[in-house]
Structure 1
Amino acid sequence: MNKLSYTLSAVALALVLSGCGQSNAQQGQQPPPLTIDVANVQLEEVQSWHTFTTRLEAPERVVLKPRVSGQLKSMAFKEGERVEKGQLLFSIDPRPFATQVESLKAQLVSAEAALSQAQGEAKRAQRLVAKNAMSTEQADQRDATLRRAIANKNAIAAQLEKAQLDLEFSQVTAPISGVISRADVTQGNYVSAGDTALTTIVSDDLVYAYFDVDERTWSKQFAGMNADTGVMVQLQRINSQQPIAGKVDFIDNEINPTTGTLRVRAVFDAQAHNLKPGAFARISMAAETPKTLAIVPERAIGTDLKNRFVLTVDENNTLQYRLVELGERYGAYRAIKSGLVRGERIAVNGPARVGPGMPITPNKVAFNFENTQFVLKSTNTSSDLLVSAAK
């Protein structure tokens, strides 16, 4: 019995010693530090801007109407093509106008003959009155006849000039250079002066973009702006990532009291960028000059109540808590006004899996700014057109 008791005690003691050994071994095996992405803080030139939506407009748009009435004889252009100022577009039957011109020319010749006769009789009357061979009353009658002949000649000359203008207006020409639309009236139809719309022409050298800036934004960000300085703006079209440079060339002289906004206009080179009037566009206008700030990924920023912070990596590869002041956001990145300097290492993915005081194994990565715009870039494309338009 005693022998069995001693045996059980020995087995129990061995099990206890074995368990203690395993526990000590487990305590000695610490997990390796977590591997996280780390990047060096970079400095970039950044600026703040505001974006406004609008539709583009042509500086010149003409709804072409005839200046004389008549039957449309022919159309001398191809719909949708570019036309030059003074180019023949429509022809109204000129025969009635040509006939009127010839008739008035004949009347003018008759009036000039009557005037010549009246002038001769008036001169003879003056000589006869001087010799007391004609009464003053008769001389006055001849002088009145002369004045009537002058007036009649002048009236017919004016009618002839108008008839010649009507004949000229029967050939309808382009009042501006630009792109012409389709013909709204076809050959053989009767058109009325000042009433029938023949077609539409829009200028195509430049396009305007009108947009409204609310009073608070204007007073805070743009109060010192002057249209004479040609402030740079950028245009973004639908489904296009390529910005188009333009300039502000007009600022209205008063704030609209109904909407509380100020009307601003920017001008762009239409031909260089194939811009069409009526197209939807976003206009970006810089609110400040560029300045250099630290840039970090938006996901690297954590929130601690009202504070914003990032996790920096010290020389011992330990994460440290760092308060930062945020600037503007630029795509996937955020400008930092204060709290970071160039070259400091930060946890790229922020505090999602880690926290301050944790040791890490850094995996160095680099920021990719290729598709991120930090400032409104200027271009020299069509600068002559834009400068002249801004003036």
Structure 2
Amino acid sequence: MNASTNRQDRLFRPVRQVASRWAIGLLALSGLLGLAGCASEAAPGEGMPPPPEVSVATVEQREIRPWSEFTGRIEAVQTVQLRPRVSGYIERIAYEEGQEVRQGQVLFVIDQRPYRAALARAEAELARARTQAELTRSEAARAERLAGQRVISTEELDQRRAAAAAAQAAVRAAAAARDVAALELEFTEVRAPIAGRAGRALVTPGNLVGPETSVLTSIVSVDPVHVVFEGDELTYLRFTREARTEGKRRSPVQVGLAGEEGFPHEGVLDFVDNHVDPATGTIVARAVLDNAGRQFTPGLFARVRLLGPEPVKALLVDPKAVLTDQDRRYVYVLGADNTAQRRDIRLGRELDGLRVVESGLEPGEKIIVHGVQKVFFPGMPVQPVEVAMGAPPAVAAAAGSH
């Protein structure tokens, strides 16, 4: 019995193993079908993640003045290269280099001894000419009386008159020579022709200088100053057209220096060149700035903002809300059903950390400013949290947590 039983077990064991595997498979299949049935009976949307939380802000509308920005340089209103008017040896430098000087202040002194001697000689010559003129005048008067008594001839009378006239001319020539000598002596003191800041002395005492070859120093005026810049012809045409319409000739200008935030300095446009450069399509313009605080130095780089005559209404958005698709700019606008709707826009310039939107948005619309990376496709549902336009991410996150 045992032998036949063992033999039957060996024969039917594979059959039982196959049957058991089929039973396990059927149980697993029935379980999967049961789960599918349960899933089909569940409510739609159950098990999906909630809409992402994003920060939205209302498009800001503000009155601004249209502007154009340029780069320019600070220039002095007056610049003088100081040269001597007479020749001679430098005797003394009478100013401190790099400091402001007054108009008429003595800066250099040239050796005055030759010019004092020349002035003394000219004064002596003038005195001699005056004495000679007095003598010839007396002789001419006496000749007049004698000619009336017919003591001397008419020819001699004419000679006395001519001698008196020549003596008077000699007096005038001597007086002019004396004035020239006095001027040359005065020119030995080289004075500042304008008030401003003097540069370094280009000569030292003991050097021979002359009017034709020597530059002693330079002086630049300090208050006010000019900022010179070049504008494109489209800006020139727009601003001149607006100025004619509004009847204004001097447009306001704002200026910022390197290292400064924004445009803290104000001035007015006081000059526009009379032609546009055909090679570059630009025209030179100039503004005048107050420099009472001495913050401007000629040669400094300057950022220039030229303001339009009248303010206009503009829409402003946070730059962090703007996305790029190749050459297009767009934002996500919050739809009526809290969905993110793509909107292409055209951007203008930056103002106070916001960007001007020239087209594509309407006042009062809300756009996503923080969390735009959570929006994967247009029409995606979102959970909006309203913040102020331009609020930093930390403030926006705090507003969302509440």
TM bucket normalised to smaller: 0.7 to 0.9
Determine helix, strand or coil for the equivalent of 1:271.
coil
Match of 2:109 among 87, 91, 109: 91
- Offset of residue 357 of structure 1: 2.6
Give SS of 2:292's match.
Answer: helix
**Partners of 1:355 and 1:318 in 2: how far apart?**
10
Which position in structure 2 is the counterpart of 1:344?
Answer: 365
TM-score of the aligned structures, taking structure 1 as reference length: 0.83
- TM-score, normalisation: structure 2: 0.81
Match of 2:158 in 1: 140
User: Which residue does 1:182 correspond to in 2?
Assistant: 200
Q: Which residue of 2 aligns with 1:22?
A: 35
Residue correspondence of structure 1 range 161-172 to structure 2 within 5 A: 161-172=179-190
Counterpart selection for 2:387 from 349, 358, 365: 365
For 1:259 and 1:314, the matched residues in 2 are separated by 47
Task: Letter of the 1:289 partner, please give it.
Answer: E
CA shift, 1:301, in A, is: 4.2
Contact 1:301–1:350 (CA under 8 A) maintained in structure 2: no
Aligned twin of 1:196: 214
Is the contact made by 1:49 and 1:288 (CA closer than 8 Å) also made in structure 2?
Answer: no
Highest CA radius of gyration, 1 or 2?
A: 2
Q: 1:187 to 1:5 in 2, by over 3 A?
A: closer
What are the equivalent positions in structure 2 for 1:27-106 lying under 5 Å apart?
28-106=46-124
Q: Does 1:241 align with 2:261?
A: yes
Q: Distance in 2 between matches of 1:67 and 1:7?
A: 125
Report the CA distance between 1:92 and its aligned residue. 0.9
The alignment partner of 1:229 has SS state of coil
Q: CA deviation at 1:158?
A: 0.4
Q: Tell me the amino acid that sits aligned with residue 64 of structure 1.
A: L
- CA RMSD in angstroms comes to 3.2
Q: What is the deviation of 1:271?
A: 3.5
The whole-number CA distance in structure 2 between the counterparts of 1:186 and 1:211 is 38
Q: Distance in 1 between matches of 2:57 and 2:282?
A: 44
Alignment match of 1:232 (pick from 237, 244, 252): 252
Structure 1 distance, partners of 2:379, 2:147, is 129
Relative to structure 2, which stretch is displaced further, 326-335 or 265-274?
326-335
Partner Cα separation in structure 1 for residue 17 and residue 114 of structure 2: 143
Q: 1:206, 1:255 → 2: CA distance?
A: 27
Deviations 1:76-112 (A, max 9, x none): 1111111000111111111111111112212212211
1:125 aligns to what?
A: 143
Deviation of 1:338 (Å): 4.8
Matched residue SS, 1:270: coil
The alignment partner of 1:272 has SS state of: coil
Q: 1:265 and 1:228, CA in 2 relative to 1: closer, same or farther beyond 3 A?
A: farther
Contact 1:222 1:287 in 2 (8 A): no
Match of 2:32, SS state, is helix
For residues 98-127 of structure 1, the C-alpha deviation after alignment (integer angstroms, 9 at most, x for no partner) is 111112212212211111111111011111
1:266 aligns with 2:279: no
CA contact (8 A) 1:256 1:262 kept: yes
Can you list the C-alpha shifts for 1:337-372, whole angstroms capped at 9, x where unaligned? Answer: 4554444322225477333332222243333279xx
Contact kept? 1:101, 1:163, Cα under 8 Å: yes
Gaps of 5+ in 2: 1-11, 393-402
Is the Cα–Cα contact under 8 Å of residues 326 and 334 in structure 1 kept in the other structure?
Answer: no
- Separation of aligned partners in 2, 1:34 and 1:324: 22
Distance in 1 separating the partners of 2:145 and 2:391? 102
Contact in 1 for aligned 2:348/2:358 (Cα 8 Å): no
- Quick one: distance in 1 between partners of 2:184 and 2:273? 40
- The one-letter code of the counterpart of 1:261 is T
* Residue type of the alignment partner of 2:380: M
> Which position in structure 1 is the counterpart of 2:397?
none
Gaps of 5+ in 1: 371-391
SS of 2:165 mapped into structure 1: helix
Q: Which residue of 1 aligns with 2:304?
A: 283
Question: 1:235 Cα shift?
Answer: 1.8
2:182 maps to a residue whose letter is: Q
